[in-house]
Structure 1
Amino acid sequence: RVPLILCGPGIEAGRKNDAMVYLPSLFATTCEMAGIDTPETVQFPSLVPLLTGEKSKLHDSIYCAYRHFQRMVRTERYKLIRYPHVGEVQLFDLQDDPWEMNDLAEDPQYARTVKTLDAELHRWMHITGDELDFASL
């Protein structure tokens, strides 16, 4: 959780939002606030709907990749991390364990959560063109 602080015309002072966002969304946000078209190649949405209160969130989940070493998907409640080269997976309940100290991936009662988040991870990999093949490692 990294804070992002923005100010400017049309942004209410003191407004807070816990939405999950991507840093590249700042480009689309800047374009929209400047009144210019966002290039079609920009994949990330503007944050303006969050800043104006029109929306409370933009994404149900977010995805991150670090080279070929790890992939991560998180929702408001859970974070799933895959380490493909070592065949490891971690699952954290961010609501009950915000410091990520208790790995739940091997707990049978979270098997459905792991499966659901794994499907979401692969959906994001497809959307972003991430071609890392876990099966070949």
Structure 2
Amino acid sequence: MNGLTQSQLLTQVFTSHGPTVIMPSWYCARDWFDQIGRFNEGGKGVPEDLLLFYESLCKGGGVSHVDEGLLMYRYHSQAATHSVLEDTIWYHRVTFLEERVLSCWASFTIWNAGKQGRKPIRKRMWLFVMSMKIR
């Protein structure tokens, strides 16, 4: 992600690999943090950093490189990040894509998407089918 151009930083958000920034590597001004609504304190398994990042983008926040080290992140096996399921991340990625992009288009076509490109659509179709069964 450090090799991406400024415009790629934002468009990468909509790829199957998700946002270009991970929580330990992004920051914002305190007044912006207060304005976008703070972290979702839903508890274990909630990707609060991803949700805050998406909220920031939805409210007009941007993404920029800072070409110097600002902090040292220490990874450890007890980190809360391990409680967030991959399916939860995919759900939020697809929802963000639907709300910010797909809802603006009358139609779209998936062509040669590969495994990662098809996964969001399969997930969404599965959720749709399950919601129909519940009704």
- Taking structure 1 as the reference length, the TM-score comes to 0.25
The structure number with the bigger radius of gyration is 1
Q: Which has the higher helix share?
A: 2
TM-score between the two structures when normalised by the length of structure 2: 0.26
Of structures 1 and 2, the one scoring higher in RCO (CA 8 A, sep 6+) is: 2
Point out the structure with the larger strand share.
1
